[in-house]
Amino acid sequence: MTMNQMREWIISRPRRTKRLMLVTVDFFSLVFIIWAAFCYRFNQLFIPNFEQMLFMVAGPVIAIPVFVKMGLYRAVLRYLRERALWTIFIAVSISSLIWVSMVFLTLSYGASGIPRTIAVLYWVGGFCAVAGSRFAVKALLRGRSGRGADKTPVLIYGVGDAAVQLADALHNSPDRQVVGFISDDKGMAGMDIMGLRIYPEGNIDDLVANVGIKEVIIASTSAGPRRRRELVAKLGHHGLKIRLLPPLADLAAGRYLVSHIRDIDIDDLLGRSPVPADPELVREAVEGRTILVTGAAGSIGSAVCRAIAQANPRKLVLLEVNELGLYQIEREMRRHGFPVVPVLGTITDAAMLARIFRQHRIQTVYHCAAFKHVSLVEKNVLQGVHNNVFGTLALVQEAHAANVEKFVLISSDKAVRPSSVMGATKRWAELILRHYGRQLEEKAAGGVYSSVRFGNVIGSSGSVVPLFKEQIAAGGPVTLTDDEMTRYFMSVREAAELIIQASTLSSCGDILLLDMGEPVRIRDLARDMVMLAGLTVRDEQNPAGDIEIVTIGMRDGEKLHEELFYDPVGVTPTQHPKILRAKPQNRMSNQVPAMLEALRQALETGDEQVVRDVLFGELQKRRDQQPLTIEAKLQPETANLPRHS
């Protein structure tokens, strides 16, 4: 019988049969150990008398019940851990002590009975036999998945609890072999954990060359987005697969197993850590309320709908101009069990909006509908102003007339000192919200109208990330508009949760901002995405690379760097640790009607240049304040606030 046949035969036996086989092996092994101890003690082939034979048999008879009690027959030998050696040591020690006690109590020790040295030999030999038999079976049963060339050599970055648990979980992995840990703590270098060496970070190149490392798993809580970007840059030219262990909070919550590792994504390399949602804030904003979401099928709108669906609304009204998109989001929302009302239409249709508010008694509005592509709106100024400015105006007026309790506008960092038509229309929309919010405050009507401003959303229709993925899939080149351009990024899910929480945290006329961490250089983002695709960047240092990154020049309306607020000094915290409140700027509020009338008249001319002049001219003429100088932004009093410019 070959080893493979023996292995398959053992594995196919019933569990009861396997236990009986193990008990039998233990019985005869312990008898043999005692007999061998006699042979060693007398230095000859020993033939026991009747009394000595009884005591030989008594050894395993005493030991096996102890082994049963200690759980030695419950273990699955294929997955036996080294820590089982301690349990075996205790079990053999207890059984040996009982056996020796019996020998002494019956006065059966001495040359004619059981010599005293036999007890020591039995204890040592018994431990070796019991432990050896179990780990030999483990090696036999796991022969095909044991260490071998078919396993992928893996390094774990980190030496904390999560890293150790991961190494333990991967110990019996059929396809991965952990060869060591990497630590940026120089004091840990050269030490061992679980028999695995801890290497300094500088040894990665040598390990790749000498050991053939194919994969690095990041299991360090201190490895933030910046550190991950550095690792990707360092490991990218080796063609290593980089994976990520989920956060410990997700492991503790049961959302993942410790062995559940995933591919590192571009989200993990952004200049910020995820912002957790406050369940109480979300529940307060949604539970039992009738909610309208405009632009419900868009990337932001659909994410807002999904966030709302988790908090038990009374009714959800979906307003969308895209028929297919509306059909799809309606189907998705109906699975949650609450009433869903799909409305096919546009926010510029005031009569339709009035019917929606009247028929459904809307309590909360999340206004996500807008034209967002900077380059497209730049080429379609009239349509952008009509939709983004006057569509918002129509929606706010009808909401105001229907006494809607909460209205949240989805704004953009491009609304701060706008250079594009899209950014300018978003700034006008913010001013409209502030104007009507101030009216509510003066009348003490109780409604809350506010805006939420954030940066780029990964995966949204206007994000650069899908464009880069498409270009990489096509073999390149990846196109940049400027080498030094930076942007803030956040995930779609975070954006949606922020919007929901804003309706609870805001007061009338507020603009709430997310602390989005550090801006990300777009060239670095492109390079990271190429490396995450398992490819290399083609440049002067690596002319044989796969994908070239090309700079094509800035487009009309683009800014080199985005900002989240006008005045850093006026930013204050809110109940949520990552959500900030911009300083109220009400000086333009009473001028909004006149500004809108001027813009309306310009729109009626049908002349894009006239509309553009009014769009930017009114903001320039009446805006809250002059742009801050770099020196003013870096004054000491702003040191404790996040820098976004």
Bigger pLDDT: 577 or 39?
39
Report the run of H or E that residue 572 belongs to, with start and end.
strand 572-573
Q: Identify whether 620 is part of a domain.
A: no
Grouping H, G, I as helix, E, B as strand and the rest as coil, residue 242 is strand
| pLDDT higher than 90, residue 315 | yes
CB 189 within 8 A of CB 200: yes
CB 59 within 8 A of CB 122: yes
Mean pLDDT of 272-293: 81
Taking CA atoms, 407 is separated from 305, 359, 500, 509, in Å, by 15, 18, 11, 10
Residue 167 contacts by C-beta under 8 Å, 6 or more apart in sequence? 156, 178, 181, 193, 194, 196
Report how far residue 552's alpha carbon sits from residue 559's, in angstroms, rounded to the nearest whole number. 15
Q: Identify whether 628 is part of a domain.
A: no
Residue 418 contacts by C-beta under 8 Å, 6 or more apart in sequence? 424, 426, 427, 616, 619
Q: Identify whether 641 is part of a domain.
A: no
* Domain final residue, candidates 122, 141, 160: 141
451 φ, ψ (degrees, to nearest 5):
-125, 150
Shared-domain flag, residues 399 and 535: yes
| pLDDT higher than 90, residue 35 | no
CB 425 within 8 A of CB 411: no
- Using pLDDT thresholds of 50, 70 and 90, give the confidence band for residue 409: very high
pLDDT score of 256: 40
Shared-domain flag, residues 396 and 529: yes
Indicate the residue type of 132: G
| pLDDT higher than 70, residue 18 | yes
Shared-domain flag, residues 488 and 541: yes
27: containing domain: 3-141
Shared-domain flag, residues 443 and 298: yes
pLDDT score of 316: 95
Shared-domain flag, residues 121 and 215: no
Bigger pLDDT: 79 or 68?
68
Beta bridge partners of 452: 410, 512
Grouping H, G, I as helix, E, B as strand and the rest as coil, residue 639 is coil
Q: Identify whether 631 is part of a domain.
A: no
Shared-domain flag, residues 443 and 513: yes
Grouping H, G, I as helix, E, B as strand and the rest as coil, residue 130 is helix
Most confident option among 141-150, 188-197, 444-453: 444-453
CA 364 to chain centroid: 30
Picking from 365, 339, 156, the residue whose alpha carbon sits closest to that of residue 261 is 156
Residue 626 contacts by C-beta under 8 Å, 6 or more apart in sequence? none
Grouping H, G, I as helix, E, B as strand and the rest as coil, residue 134 is helix
Shared-domain flag, residues 171 and 257: yes
Report how far residue 354's alpha carbon sits from residue 332's, in angstroms, rounded to the nearest whole number. 26
Domain CATH for 323: 3.40.50.720
Structure tokens, 473: 């899939």
Bigger pLDDT: 517 or 337?
337
CA dihedral 603→605→608→611, nearest 10 degrees, is: -50
Shared-domain flag, residues 341 and 455: yes
Shared-domain flag, residues 192 and 304: no
Structure tokens, 230: 């550095």
Shared-domain flag, residues 423 and 506: yes
* Domain final residue, candidates 230, 264, 298: 264
Structure tokens, 597: 């009338």
Shared-domain flag, residues 137 and 159: no
Per the prediction, the chain carries an average pLDDT of 77
Structure tokens, 375: 């380059």
* Domain final residue, candidates 264, 293, 326: 264
Strand ranges of the sheet holding 448-453, from the earlier edge strand across to the other edge:
340-344, 315-320, 290-294, 364-367, 406-410, 448-453, 511-514, 579-581, 572-573
pLDDT score of 391: 95
Report how far residue 597's alpha carbon sits from residue 590's, in angstroms, rounded to the nearest whole number. 13
Report how far residue 32's alpha carbon sits from residue 38's, in angstroms, rounded to the nearest whole number. 10
Q: Identify whether 273 is part of a domain.
A: no
Radius of gyration for the chain, computed over Cα atoms and rounded to the nearest angstrom: 35
Report how far residue 470's alpha carbon sits from residue 530's, in angstroms, rounded to the nearest whole number. 11
Shared-domain flag, residues 58 and 192: no
- Using pLDDT thresholds of 50, 70 and 90, give the confidence band for residue 398: very high
Q: Identify whether 615 is part of a domain.
A: no
Q: Identify whether 241 is part of a domain.
A: yes
pLDDT score of 644: 31
Share of the chain above pLDDT 70, in %: 74
Point out the least confidently predicted range of 203-212, 338-347, 407-416. Answer: 203-212
* DSSP code for 450: E
Report how far residue 541's alpha carbon sits from residue 561's, in angstroms, rounded to the nearest whole number. 28
CA dihedral 426→427→433→435, nearest 10 degrees, is: -150
Using one digit for the tens of pLDDT, what is the confidence trace for 618-638? 766 655 444 333 233 323 333
Q: Identify whether 401 is part of a domain.
A: yes
Number of domains the chain contains: 3
